[in-house]
Structure 1
């Protein structure tokens, strides 16, 4: 089976594999609650070896998103390497949050075999990744930084964030932070770090907290460990904007993006992009594409009303599709949804940016499919995964271990046991160990169920890229034609056509978790005639899995009965007789 032979250079049908770097290849499974680096271990850059990259490439992946690369605040002490120690009262978890950036110009020291050689080790990882024709994406965290941000390795001539701020002003367009003059920061109630410290954390004057909290007393539920960055927007005065002259924060962020682009990074997943003014993105993205026109920008965004603005004014390549397709499919996987919600999703995107929505069913923020809090088993999302990969011509993402059925079942530390894989702690993901197999990253030791699951993901990703009707074709929703078709329960059944010149595919799904469906599907005669010409009948042949066949007379344009097991799908190719 070829890998994405039909994918063109400019195709949006990319496949992203998100690696939470600290956890991905860690073979230490001590997994002590609140375990230290020494106790629970971590991935090193070198552990993501050629075997790992080859296996990821074979899965059908085109882009690897390395999460947690840039140095963030941590309770682990690296002061002997000249790295300032972080105060544990403003760090989440022993390992720390990858979204509390401590030094935009450095990588996390714990990821390096030789801490003093850490940047070279990262650069070597980038080179290895490129050797397998995989693109490298890293996180860019523009909205906030750790409360004790301090760059130890910034280039000459670069001033730290806040270094030149006028701290007597709540707001100044050229300040990097927002200040609360004459007020001292107060640690939220309930913060009890698992490591000892001598003196309480102090901050005076207090600064605004990352999630737009302009108070010296954020709560434990706020992003209390971070500081909000100032892009020239006065939040306390109607969000008035001061973008001329260009705010200092804009210039600093441009320098940072250029720095990583020149290190070979091919793309940036931009954390909470909608909390940063769209005008900044519209300015900075063209500046970075002048350095490398092939760099891609992906926005984490949750407000559908702002999608168009961040794509067309902000110039992002892709946006998260969480509020749309992810939420609709999750409801169906949990037995609570309505398949007609899928129609509502594409209708909101149609004609403008459906090909620019990044589809996913897992990422570091969401609960794992197999968790008790979500689908309870990894197979519960197979139909949803196929739909996510084929509904439109846009990108698809898989979170590391999704294809192996990762099922969090115990509390790791700061985050507790909530169905997610920790992003705050040192940990070894048990379901990955047989795949890692002492660095071999092969399938020999996987269970029968894991092999079948991984095979499904591989076939799905490659199918979505190798079939031009999916990767570059048009889409036709069939719900409107089938409200009265025999056995067609539109609240649980969903169907659509994907087609391009030379290929016509029919996708039919049953999202009912408990009941089989025997359904007939009405097809648009004009599409059949356009694809197959003046013929009396067309043939249906099941592809991907199964061998069903049938013929349809064009004068009725309706399939024979199709049997669909609970929570399953079938795909048919439609051709001339």
Structure 2
């Protein structure tokens, strides 16, 4: 029987070839062929990034709590982000969404707090897909040109631009006020007398008017502060289905009541009003997918979203992050993504899909480049960071992802997840350091970092609608640890604490190494189980693996214990020594993060050992010189 290592070696050696293959050995199309180096996505909540005000009053107004602008992403700010090791910036919350602040002087209709979450509004309740959030502009009348200037600055700084597209739902009060001539906003041509028609953009509840949710547990819009439109009413007759699928005219307060669900030609009983993709299209390239849809009739919502995506591509946007993609039929993604790739073959397309059973469908048929690896790797690492998870589970996760590992984007924080430093998660940002090394070096997939993560932001503010542990995406709020790094616009960490500076230095060292490493785009083999079996003093709070591409070879070891050091002779099994072509002898190992620990690989009798000492929460990336 083959050893576990042999099985993993034989299955993952293909990764170093740069092309996935079928079981019969033939080449297989993949949406995003592996690049020479890893990508690093830096998610910024655009409204919060440049805000320097520190009032942080719950439910505070823009004037009280402040707001960041496109202009805050100065060349100095962008250079500092690039120096962190970032290749792509995801500017979260760019499309114009519903918000309470009054911009009627700029010809923008007011929004009703009864169907808005927070005072600043949810970025996932888009009101106009052809414009940007007026909060983000120095001059709201010139807001789209200010965004274009941001795109140009980002490109000049050497990074690419990603923004959100939210396909499943739009704001309850969607208007599309700046929709180009010749196009129609969502819902403009709907027949509202019927619950469903294939060519309607929304679903309706004929004969019933919308009713604002019944608030409970002390909640009131705006925290109960007075507002002329906060009267418990919102005019919508007939009512429309809510974004999360609720078919009630009065959705629950925990529903996505601020949004309405988009109709993709799927009837209430689940029947499709569009052609389904034959199974073999999972193996065909984007050109074949585009040809499949050419001349076929599709629902008008599909066409509208494709026009929207191509509009932003035309403004210089390099890619999209798709919200809740699994709530939309995979055929739509084939249609949309093949159209985007025809306009920009290098577009970077990533999406939320939380059901692992759908991963391959949305990658191969839907032509997604990258999906969140949330419920498998992220959740496993979270449990380990919290102290009760075992590193033994990591290779189990990878074994089930061998064929799609490149497409599963890794992260430890984003706007939906708790901050590592929050008491509700780990309570100490340093506990994320070994997990970050593993997350960033384990596979060929991109790595994502959420702004403030690199300085240990705990998300402690009671912002209003948004509650502590997650930095609020609904409120005007300052982000204290991040603000200290901003240092009044110098973006140099001059006001950061020593611990914040040390953490950012760690992230910078790690991410810059990953984007320059050839080995991290090659093969992987687990040596964890081998060492658990053969190495005294090695246990389930340590994790080890190897990565290589040709003669560029890495040994990576992480200690997840915060109060315990380890000392052991890490073992490299014979299969790996033979794969690397090493003969008996001693080989120096260069430590790539800090360069402060020298090591040697000793090979004798076709097996290798490395004498290691690991401090608490320490990781070593050891490179065997070519």
TM range, normalised to the smaller chain? over 0.9
In the alignment, what sits opposite 1:528?
Answer: 577
- Shifted more, 446-455 versus 364-373: the winner is 446-455
In the alignment, what sits opposite 1:5?
Answer: none
Q: CA deviation at 1:473?
A: 1.6
- Matched-pair contact (CA < 8 Å) for 1:482–1:488: no
- Matched-pair contact (CA < 8 Å) for 1:488–1:521: no
- Matched-pair contact (CA < 8 Å) for 2:585–2:603: yes
- Matched-pair contact (CA < 8 Å) for 1:70–1:104: yes
1:13 equivalent in alignment to 2:38: yes
**1:220-259 superposed matches below 5 A:** 220-234=253-267, 236-237=268-269, 239-244=270-275, 245-259=297-311
**1:43-62 superposed matches below 5 A:** 43-62=68-87
In the alignment, what sits opposite 1:3?
Answer: none
In the alignment, what sits opposite 2:221?
Answer: 193
Q: CA deviation at 1:9?
A: 9.2
Find the aligned partners of 1:155 and 1:316 in 2 and give their Cα distance. 27
In the alignment, what sits opposite 1:4?
Answer: none
Q: CA deviation at 1:167?
A: 1.2
Runs of at least 5 residues in structure 2 that lack an aligned partner in the other structure: 1-32, 276-296
Find the aligned partners of 1:560 and 1:111 in 2 and give their Cα distance. 53
> Is the alpha carbon distance of 1:547 and 1:111 closer, same or farther for their aligned partners in structure 2, counting shifts above 3 Å?
same
> Is the alpha carbon distance of 1:488 and 1:205 closer, same or farther for their aligned partners in structure 2, counting shifts above 3 Å?
farther
Q: CA deviation at 1:541?
A: 4.3
Find the aligned partners of 1:54 and 1:515 in 2 and give their Cα distance. 37
Q: Deviations over 1:305-328 (max 9, x none)?
A: 000001000000111111121111
Q: Indicate the RMSD between aligned Cα atoms, in angstroms.
A: 1.8
Please point out which of 363, 379, 385 is paired with 2:436.
Answer: 385
**1:211-360 superposed matches below 5 A:** 211-234=244-267, 236-237=268-269, 239-244=270-275, 245-350=297-402, 352-360=403-411
Please point out which of 156, 178, 182 is paired with 1:131.
Answer: 156
Find the aligned partners of 2:384 and 2:483 in 1 and give their Cα distance. 31
- Matched-pair contact (CA < 8 Å) for 2:455–2:504: yes
Runs of at least 5 residues in structure 1 that lack an aligned partner in the other structure: 1-7
**1:550-569 superposed matches below 5 A:** 550-555=600-605, 557-569=607-619
- Matched-pair contact (CA < 8 Å) for 1:335–1:513: no
In the alignment, what sits opposite 1:475?
Answer: 524
In the alignment, what sits opposite 1:155?
Answer: 180
In the alignment, what sits opposite 1:517?
Answer: 566
In the alignment, what sits opposite 1:442?
Answer: 492
Q: Deviations over 1:205-256 (max 9, x none)?
A: 111111111222211111111000000112x31x211115300100000110
Find the aligned partners of 1:515 and 1:480 in 2 and give their Cα distance. 20
Please point out which of 110, 118, 127 is paired with 1:85.
Answer: 110
> Is the alpha carbon distance of 1:229 and 1:281 closer, same or farther for their aligned partners in structure 2, counting shifts above 3 Å?
same
- Helix, strand or coil for the counterpart of 1:89? helix
Find the aligned partners of 1:488 and 1:482 in 2 and give their Cα distance. 9
Q: CA deviation at 1:519?
A: 2.9
In the alignment, what sits opposite 2:29?
Answer: none
Find the aligned partners of 1:575 and 1:258 in 2 and give their Cα distance. 46
1:183 equivalent in alignment to 2:208: yes
Task: Report the TM-score, using the length of structure 1 for normalisation.
Answer: 0.94
- Matched-pair contact (CA < 8 Å) for 2:599–2:612: no
Find the aligned partners of 2:487 and 2:621 in 1 and give their Cα distance. 35
Find the aligned partners of 2:466 and 2:516 in 1 and give their Cα distance. 40
> Is the alpha carbon distance of 1:560 and 1:131 closer, same or farther for their aligned partners in structure 2, counting shifts above 3 Å?
closer
Q: CA deviation at 1:486?
A: 2.7
Find the aligned partners of 2:306 and 2:470 in 1 and give their Cα distance. 33
**1:489-508 superposed matches below 5 A:** 489-508=538-557
Find the aligned partners of 1:415 and 1:299 in 2 and give their Cα distance. 23
Find the aligned partners of 1:93 and 1:571 in 2 and give their Cα distance. 44
- Helix, strand or coil for the counterpart of 1:529? helix
- Matched-pair contact (CA < 8 Å) for 2:205–2:241: yes
- Shifted more, 511-520 versus 18-27: the winner is 511-520
Please point out which of 408, 411, 426 is paired with 2:476.
Answer: 426
The number of aligned residues is 564
Q: Deviations over 1:312-357 (max 9, x none)?
A: 000001111111211111101100101111112111110x211121
- Helix, strand or coil for the counterpart of 1:444? coil
- Matched-pair contact (CA < 8 Å) for 2:588–2:601: yes
- Matched-pair contact (CA < 8 Å) for 2:207–2:238: yes
In the alignment, what sits opposite 2:450?
Answer: 399
Find the aligned partners of 2:174 and 2:36 in 1 and give their Cα distance. 38
Find the aligned partners of 1:364 and 1:93 in 2 and give their Cα distance. 15
- Matched-pair contact (CA < 8 Å) for 1:164–1:175: yes
Find the aligned partners of 2:377 and 2:612 in 1 and give their Cα distance. 25
